[in-house]
Structure 1
Amino acid sequence: MDKAQWNEWLVYLLNRPLAYGLLELSRRLGDVVYLPRIGHVISDAEIALDVLMDTEHFDSHSPGSLGFLVTQALGPYALLNMDGPEHKDLKRRLQEVFSSKYIKALIGSATNDIVNEFRGNLLAGRMVDVVEFMKDFSSRMACELIGVRVDPHNERGVYADMFTLATEFTALAGLGKPRLSASDLKNATRIVEQLSAHILESYEDKDIRDESLTQQMRSHGFTFEEAKGVVIIVMIGATELITYGMPRVLTLLVDSGQIEKLREKPELLERAVDEGFRLVTPSNVVLRAVVADCQIRGHHFRKGRRALIVFNNMMKQEKHFPNATRFDIERAIDSRFRRLPFGAGAHTCLGTGLAIAEARKVLEALMSVEGEYEILSRRYNRGQTYPGYSSLLIRVRRPRLP
């Protein structure tokens, strides 16, 4: 186990040791393991792909699925909780909004200044907390997606509130939770009401033309209810991934000694992003409801149970990813699994292009700074929804001029 592998192991172990131990045991027991009160735990990439593509025996809105929990909190228009023709039509209309041109403009509008400031601090040899930077980055993106008018005298407060709302919402889901409890639903309603107020203000402002997803959806004819569910899901889904995921990708590059290779071979950037998201999976687990008995690759799934697709487990399978726990920016990933961490089929994550573009922007900024990256200290998340670091202090030792 090298340094990068050791620290990734600690990221999971120290965050939620019981949940990690349970899922790791399931991985070692087999490709599919049934756990009472939890469901069918899937640790194989091929089986996971089959389940995600199978809309006859599995769905994302019945009791037991993540979509069922989302419906309790957000109502019917949230993508995650939709299936069939209505979902297909909504996804088609959204693809017109989420063009690569729009994503580039959105990220630039929200983050150009703080990325330049971050890069400037690194160039000056200053100590930087990457987690704090990524919190600012993701919170600005959240405000930009919604269309929040940020008071320049209270930027930090607004961004902190937005980050708190996003992380509180994701914390409501759990491995053994088939539905939201009364207290969970009360908290979810409070969060959604606060976010909805911001979205409504942006949606009804006919004089403003900005890069917000809210305004883009309104201009494409989406109703407020449609916009509300989609904007909240996209915003919440991206916040923790970028905040806690990108610092982990950076530590993988530094701990494995491959950051210099990436700087020397910038053509490896796309592979580095793919390899980063293979190990730092966008979702820990995706839930599907089993709506009809079926057999998949010799494994029986029973109606009324849940199927849990555990991305961290399946991305560590040696049969699909040789030397799977090793981070390797030159790894050629099977095309079937290259973007599997973002889902597959009808429910492929709408924000895939956004997440990849955000990762690319941050890595490009890091690669543009000459010198040796030093990790000065790191603190690990404890009991959070998304495993990662609560603090990651870095500095670049700049080469001395002759």
Structure 2
Amino acid sequence: MTSMTDSIPDHVPADLVFPFDYRGDAQIRESLWDYLASMGDRPAMFFSPDLGGYWVVTTAALAEEVFSNHEIFSVRSVSVPKLESPVKLIPNNYDPPEHAPYRRMFTQNLFSPRALSSLEDVTRRDARALLNAMTPGRCEFVGEFAERLPIDVFLAGMGVDPAHREQFLPWVRNVFSGATKEEFGRGMAEASTFLAEWLKKQMEAPETNGGGMFQAMIASRIDGRALTWDEMHRITVMLFLGGLDTVTSEMSHVMYFLAGSPAHRQRLIDRPADIPKAVEEMLRRFSIANIGRIVVKDTDFHGVRLKAGDPVLIATPIVGLDESAFENATTVDFDRGRARGVRHLAFGAGPHLCPGAYLARTQLRVMLEELLPRMPGLRLQPGAKIEWRAGADFMVRELPLEWDAVGSA
């Protein structure tokens, strides 16, 4: 039987070894943020013997450097432990310089203001519809809203029939919170197969598809040529993965916090112009993504000896609590940063800074604008027991909320 010590390479010193199973630790499920805050005493980079062994980056300064330095930290593997995917995602699994033209395509075409112009209206319309479908004064927020709205927005942006929403839900759950590699692989394969078949049908008459992101993809050029079908498929799968569970997870933390903080909630109701900067602070405080890299060459990184092939995890939930970067880091302060705003790493940094960040921010902002005024007295349902979901994205597993139904709409 293999012990955890077997996963500690010879080049890792004993004083840098600390357990951290971000996919299965019981402390994550029971007291996520208290557990993460306690890691402030650990080194800026430590080695966990769990999950086959991997380095964990915990400070904002080192995290930004790892995100930005592709010559040492490659995106060939963005999962820890490495999970085999049937699709090489564009642009997620490409390092510079191969990554650059695809990155430009995303920022200038797929996520351009023109391609996204209709999606704020879609987000607002669907947020209202989901709220109106709830039992007056109560809901299980994750299942009734947070899991559904990002899927609706993705389907609208790509021009997929919204009737497919329920079909997407189990795929998303398997990919992001599957307990085994088999569940992850099944979710990826099922989503990839569906999107491949859908894309083939769209290409028979692409002009009939009204999705802004889809049309932007069709019109995109890489070094003067149109995208191949295979490239479009890998981009579509990436959009499916990148924009669904991450937004769902962030929504769950934001609403959990606001349900327990009437003063913060009331400020946003009274001063909705503060919502955009409040979103940035909550993205910082409740960063949710655990993002992998792979070391591509032996190096000394700030006094830590790394070997080619070492997995590295940028734990943005820990990074957001870095006291050396954010004073009183566990406190949610909507005035943090004031005129300059909050500089956080919730969307990464460097060449792989998330190109969909604007769309994610839009969904979070619209959610607050639409829900908070219509949920007076928002609070947890009595007796609700909160459990957090471990994994690639940390999430509130279920969020039973209630509010004063009088005046809701």
More displaced, 48-57 or 201-210? 201-210
1:83 aligned partner: 95
Please tell me whether the aligned partners of residues 74 and 295 of structure 2 are also in contact (alpha carbons under 8 angstroms). Answer: yes
For 1:45, the aligned partner's letter is A
Task: Give yes or no for the alignment of 1:322 onto 2:327.
Answer: yes
For 2:217, the aligned partner's letter is M
Q: Aligned pair in 2 of structure 1 residues 275, 189: CA closer, same or farther (>3 Å)?
A: same
1:224 aligned partner: 229
The CA RMSD measured in Å over matched residues stands at 3.5
Task: Give yes or no for the alignment of 1:126 onto 2:137.
Answer: yes
1:3 aligned partner: none
For 1:134, the aligned partner's letter is A
Q: Aligned pair in 2 of structure 1 residues 312, 293: CA closer, same or farther (>3 Å)?
A: same
1:100 aligned partner: 113
Per-residue Cα deviation, 1:200-233 (whole angstroms, up to 9, x for no partner)? 3234333414125333201323322222212212
Distance 1:21 1:219 in 2: 48
Distance 2:365 2:35 in 1: 33
1:353 aligned partner: 358
2:75 aligned partner: 60
1:215 aligned partner: 215
1:397 aligned partner: 404
Distance 1:319 1:136 in 2: 37
Identity %: 20
| SS of structure 1 residue aligned to 2:293 | strand
Q: Aligned pair in 2 of structure 1 residues 355, 288: CA closer, same or farther (>3 Å)?
A: same
Q: Structure 1 or 2: larger helix share?
A: 1
Please tell me whether the aligned partners of residues 148 and 202 of structure 1 are also in contact (alpha carbons under 8 angstroms). Answer: no
Per-residue Cα deviation, 1:312-365 (whole angstroms, up to 9, x for no partner)? 111112221122122222222897972411111111112111111110110111
1:140 aligned partner: 152
Q: Which of 57, 62, 66 is the aligned partner of 1:51?
A: 66
1:35 aligned partner: 48
Please tell me whether the aligned partners of residues 65 and 287 of structure 1 are also in contact (alpha carbons under 8 angstroms). Answer: yes
Distance 2:145 2:284 in 1: 23
Please tell me whether the aligned partners of residues 218 and 224 of structure 1 are also in contact (alpha carbons under 8 angstroms). Answer: no
Structure 1 stretches of at least 4 aligned residues deviating more than 6 Å after TM superposition: 17-25, 333-337
Task: Give yes or no for the alignment of 1:167 onto 2:179.
Answer: no
Please tell me whether the aligned partners of residues 271 and 329 of structure 1 are also in contact (alpha carbons under 8 angstroms). Answer: yes
Distance 1:213 1:67 in 2: 30
Alignment of 1:3-402 (within 5 A): 16=29, 27-36=40-49, 37-61=52-76, 64-66=77-79, 72-75=85-88, 77-97=89-109, 98-109=111-122, 111-120=123-132, 126-131=137-142, 132-150=144-162, 155=163, 158-171=164-177, 185=185, 188-220=188-220, 221-257=226-262, 258-283=264-289, 285-332=290-337, 338-369=343-374, 371-376=376-381, 377=384, 379-381=386-388, 385-397=392-404
Distance 2:396 2:206 in 1: 41
Distance 1:311 1:349 in 2: 13
Distance 1:23 1:38 in 2: 19
Per-residue Cα deviation, 1:264-296 (whole angstroms, up to 9, x for no partner)? 22232122101221132241x111111123333
For 1:242, the aligned partner's letter is V
Distance 2:386 2:34 in 1: 21
| SS of structure 2 residue aligned to 1:357 | helix
Distance 2:326 2:68 in 1: 21
Distance 1:167 1:148 in 2: 19
Distance 1:302 1:289 in 2: 10
Q: What number of residue pairs does the alignment pair up?
A: 372
Please tell me whether the aligned partners of residues 66 and 81 of structure 1 are also in contact (alpha carbons under 8 angstroms). Answer: no
Per-residue Cα deviation, 1:56-103 (whole angstroms, up to 9, x for no partner)? 212111xx543995774213x521110122210111122122113432
Q: Aligned pair in 2 of structure 1 residues 307, 20: CA closer, same or farther (>3 Å)?
A: farther
User: What stretches of structure 1 of length at least 5 have no aligned partner?
Assistant: 1-11, 175-179
Shift of 1:398: 6.4
Distance 2:43 2:341 in 1: 21
Q: Aligned pair in 2 of structure 1 residues 277, 20: CA closer, same or farther (>3 Å)?
A: closer
Q: Aligned pair in 2 of structure 1 residues 33, 24: CA closer, same or farther (>3 Å)?
A: farther
For 1:358, the aligned partner's letter is Q
1:9 aligned partner: none
| SS of structure 2 residue aligned to 1:360 | helix
| SS of structure 1 residue aligned to 2:118 | helix
User: What stretches of structure 2 of length at least 5 have no aligned partner?
Assistant: 1-24, 221-225
Distance 2:33 2:53 in 1: 14
Please tell me whether the aligned partners of residues 100 and 353 of structure 1 are also in contact (alpha carbons under 8 angstroms). Answer: no
- TM-score with structure 2 length normalisation? 0.79
Distance 1:202 1:15 in 2: 42
- TM-score with structure 1 length normalisation? 0.80
For 1:275, the aligned partner's letter is E
Q: Aligned pair in 2 of structure 1 residues 261, 22: CA closer, same or farther (>3 Å)?
A: closer
